[in-house]
Structure 1
Amino acid sequence: MANNLTPAIYARLCDKATPNGWTLDQCIQTGVDNPGHPFIKTVGIVAGDEETYEVFADLFDPVIQERHNGYNPRTMKHTTDLDATKIKFGQFDERYVLSSRVRTGRSIRGLSLPPACTRAERREVEKVTVDALSGLTGDLAGRYYRLSEMTEQEQQQLIDVSQCSSRPAPPGCMQSRTPSWHCLSGRLHPPFAALLSSSTRTPALARQPNSTPCSLSEPMNSASLQDHFLFDKPVSPLLTAAGMARDWPDARGIWHNHQKTFLIWINEEDHTRVISMEKGGNMKRVFERFCRGLKEVERLIQERGWEFMWNERLGYILTCPSNLGTGLRAGVHIKLPLLSKDSRFPKILENLRLQKRGTGGVDTAAKGGVFDISNLDRLGKSEVELVQLVIDGVNYLIDCERRLEKGQDIRIPSPLQQFRH
C-alpha cells in the first residue's frame, strides 16, 4: 500500500465510497496502523465488499500488480481450471513429503466481506454455507462446529494443543532476511483446525441430523495431539485493525468431513476457507478431493440462490488482495535437511515460484529440516497450473536432496515464465 498510495491518489479517492458505504480510509486502516518491516511486506489494504476493487481500483490495481509479480488487472484476464485429471506425477516420495494440502477461499456475492459485514450479514454467511454443506454426501459428508457454543477453555485448548508440537515464533521473528509478502494477518494459518475428540458432551456441535456429539473435555493423549490443529483467535493487530475481531466468536465455525480430510472455515478472514489435506505425499488425490468438494459446494450454494464473487479480471474475490485469483495455496511439509543448508536454496525456490515457511507456518522455525513449501502465485495462473507447478517444484527439491545425499552437485533451475500473454 505504501508504495502505491500517493497524495494525488488519496485526494482522488478519499471522498468515494462503495454502495455499502466502505471508504478508502477503512481500506487502508490496517496498513496505517501497522507499518511494514524491511524484510516482511504486508499488503496493507483490505476490501470491505466486492465493489471495493472497482471503486478504489486506482489504488488496488497497482497494489495487485506489485503483489502478484506483474499481473496487470487492467489488461489481463484470470482463468479458472478445476480439472484434476490434468495433473501429472502427483505422488511424492513419502520419505521426504510428510503431508499434502490445498486450500482456497470463497466469498458469497451480495454480502459484505468480513472487515465490513454486519452481524446479520455474518450470520447469513454462516446460515447459507452450513445449509449448503449439509447437502454433501459420500466421503464429503461431515458436520459443523460453532465456536460460540464452545467454552473459552475449549477454544483455548484447540490453540494450546496445536502449539505443543509447533509453537509459532513471536510476531516479527523472521527466519529469512529476504523480503517476502504476507497475507493480511501476517500468517497463513495451517489449515487444520479444531478437529475434536468424541465424548458425551456436545457444546461445540451445531447439531444436524445424524451428527455425532463431540467435545474437548477429555484429556489429550499423544495420539489425539496429532488430531488437533491450530485455530488462531483474531489477536493480530493486522486483523483487529481491519475489523476481523468484531462480535467474536459470533457466527464463526469449522466444518469437516468424517475423515477429516476436507474442511471449511466459516467467517474467519474470508467468508469461507476450503481445505483438502491428508498425511503423506498423494497431492493428486488431495487436489482431486479439493476440486470435487469445491464444485459440489458451489453447486449447493447456487441451488439456494447464491453465488461466489468472481470476475474475469481478478478471479475469485477475497478480503486480502494477496489472495485474489485462485486464492489457492497448495503445499507440503517436506524434509530437506541438506538442501535447506545450501546457500542456493532461496534462489532455487525463487526460480521455481515457491515459498517456504517453518514447520508451524509463517515466522516459525523449521524443525528437523522440515519446511512448509507452497506456491508463491495466486493470480494469473489456474488452479491446475499452480498445483502442477508445486508438484514439479517439490519433485525438483526432492531430486536436489537426493543428489546432496550422494555427494553430488545441484544446479539452480532457470526462472519459470510468469504469465502466458
Structure 2
Amino acid sequence: PVAVGCVAGDAESYILFCDFFDRVIEAYHEQKITSQTPESDLNYDNLKGGDDLDRSYAVRCEVSVVRGIEDFCFPTHCSRGERRRLLTLARQALQQLEQELAGRLLLLTDSSQEQQSELNLKAPTSFQLRIGVARDWPDARAVWVSENRSLLVWVNIDEHLRLVSMREDANVAEAFQCICISLQKLEKYYRGLRHPFIWKQQLGWVTSSPANVGTGLRISVLIKLQHLPTHKHLKDVLKRLRINMDKTDSPELYNISNMATFGFTEVALTQLVVDGVKLLTIMEKRLEGNLSIDELVPAQK
C-alpha cells in the first residue's frame, strides 16, 4: 500500500483496537509486531556517510520526526482547550531549547501567507479537513524557527510535534544530527513538564497515523534522474532497497524517502536512504553512458 487510510483519535486506540491497527501497521510497514520492544538508535555517529552525496544529482534533503504528547488526544480528536494547552507546553519546552539554540515561535494567526510559504507550510488539505486535524484552523498552531534556520518545530500542525531539518546542500548527516540532538533535548524537557512523548511497548513512538509508528522518522532526498525512472528494473530496485521514489513538479527531480518507520532503528532507516541514493546515482551514471545496470540490482534489504 502507498498510503494509510485510517487515523487514531488517541494513544489508547492502538490498545483498544489493536486487532485492527496491528494489521494495518504490519501491512503498511511489512514488519510483524512481536512482544519485543522496538530498538532505538539516535546516535548519529553510527551513520556511515550522508555528507558525501554527489551534489550533481542530490539537490536537497529533509529529515523530520513526529511525536505525540502523553495525556492528550491526537489532533484528529483533541478539543480546542487541549490544543491550546499543547501550545503552552510547547512554549515552555522550546524556551528551554532556546538556551542552547536561539530561535523564535511564530503563531500562524500572526503570520502572513508569505511567511508560511517560506516555512513550507501549506493550507490544510481536504484530507486533513475530513479527519479533523484542521479543526479551528489556525487557532493554537505555531512554528518555532531556529535563528540559523537549521531546525523547524511544527506545533499542532499535523501532529502534536514535528521537528524538521532541511539542507540545501543535501547533507543528510548534518540534518539527521540536528534532529537527533534537538529531539533528545525536547524529550527531556517534556518529561520534566510531566507530559512525556507517547511510547507503546510493542510499537515504539506513536502518533495519530499508523504510517508513523515506531520511529516517526522520515528522510527524503531530492535527486536529479533522467534515465532511471523509465528503466525496467526500477520497481525491483526500490522494493529491495525499501525506499520510495515520488515524482515532483519538475520532470527531472524525484523525491527519495524511506518506505517504513517501524521495524528499524533511526540510524538504520537513515542509512537505507543514504545507501539507496548513492546506488541510484551510480545507476543513473551507468545509464548515461549506455551501460547495463543489471549487476547493480541489489538483494532484498
Name 1:376's counterpart in structure 2: 259
Partner of 1:244: 133
* Structure-2 residue corresponding to 1:283: 172
Report the equivalent of 1:399. 282
- Cα deviation, 1:353-391, whole Å, max 9, x if unaligned, reads 1101223xxxxx4x1411110110110101000001111
The residue matched to 2:157 in structure 1 has which SS? coil
Residues 135 and 299 of structure 1, relative CA distance in 2, 3 Å threshold = same
Which whole-Å CA distance do the structure 2 matches of 1:271 and 1:234 have between them? 15
The 2-side partners of 1:380 and 1:230 are apart by: 29
Contact 1:123 1:251 in 2 (8 A): yes
- Provide closer, same or farther for how the CA distance between residues 62 and 98 of structure 1 changes in structure 2, counting only shifts above 3 A: same
Aligned partner letter, 1:81: D
Q: Is 134-143 or 325-334 further displaced after alignment?
A: 134-143
What is the one-letter code of the residue matched to 2:173? Answer: K
Structure 1: which amino acid aligns with 2:121?
F
Task: For residue 120 of structure 1, report the CA deviation from its aligned partner.
Answer: 1.1
The equivalent residue for 1:413 is 297
Matching residue of 2:124: 234
For residues 102 and 416 of structure 1, what CA distance do their matches in structure 2 show? Answer: 24
Distance between the aligned counterparts of 1:409 and 1:278, measured in 2?
32
| Match runs of 1:5-154 below 5 Å | 42-69=3-30, 71-90=31-50, 91-137=52-98, 140-150=101-111, 154=112
Is the Cα contact below 8 Å between 1:355 and 1:376 reproduced in 2? yes
Distance 2:172 2:121 in 1: 24
Taking structure 2 as the reference length, what is the TM-score of the superposition? 0.93
Shift of 1:76: 4.6
Counterpart contact for 1:104–1:328, Cα < 8 Å? yes
> Quick one: distance in 2 between partners of 1:127 and 1:95?
44
User: Greater shift after overlay, 71-80 or 328-337?
Assistant: 71-80
Q: Deviations over 1:55-96 (max 9, x none)?
A: 111111111111111x22244532111000001122211111
Is 1:298 the counterpart of 2:187 in the alignment?
yes
Contact (CA 8 Å) 1:139, 1:257: kept in 2 or not? no
Higher-Rg member (1/2): 1
Q: Which one-letter code corresponds to 2:38 in the other structure?
A: H
1:269 aligns with 2:158: yes
CA distance, structure 2, for counterparts of residue 89 and residue 138 of structure 1:
30
**Distance in 1 between residues matched to 2:174 and 2:6, nearest whole Å:** 35
The offset of 1:299, in angstroms, is: 1.5
Contact 1:140 1:262 in 2 (8 A): no
Which residue in 2 is equivalent to 1:331?
A: 220
Residues of 1 paired with 2:161 and 2:32: CA distance?
Answer: 26
Which stretches in structure 1 are left out of the alignment for 5+ residues?
Answer: 1-39, 159-193, 196-227, 360-364
**Distance in 1 between the 2:3 and 2:200 partners?**
24
Which SS does the other structure have where 2:97 is aligned? coil
The CA RMSD measured in Å over matched residues stands at 1.8
- 1:258 maps to 147
Distance (Å, rounded) in 1 between the aligned partners of 2:213 and 2:177: 21
Asked if 1 retains the 8 angstrom alpha-carbon contact of 2:243 and 2:258, the reply is yes
- Structure 2 unaligned regions, length at least 5: none
Q: Identity of counterpart residues, as a percentage?
A: 34
Report SS of the residue matched to 2:148. coil
CA distance in 2, matches of 1:303, 1:138: 16
Q: Which residue of 2 aligns with 1:219?
A: none
What displacement does 1:273 show? 0.7
C-alpha contact (below 8 Å) 1:77/1:380 kept by paired residues:
no
Supply the distance in 2 between the matched residues of 1:43 and 1:125 (Cα, whole angstroms). Answer: 26
Deviation at 1:317, TM superposition (A): 0.8
Give me the whole-angstrom Cα distance separating, in 2, the residues matched to 1:407 and 1:248.
52
Q: Any conservation in 2 of the 1:352–1:413 contact (CA below 8 Å)?
A: no
Q: Is the 8 A contact 2:233 2:297 kept in 1?
A: no
Q: Any conservation in 1 of the 2:63–2:219 contact (CA below 8 Å)?
A: yes
CA contact (8 A) 1:340 1:369 kept: no
For this pair of structures, how many residues does the alignment match? 299
With normalisation by structure 1, the TM-score equals 0.68
Secondary structure of the residue aligned to 1:245 is coil
Q: What amino acid is the match of 2:13?
A: T
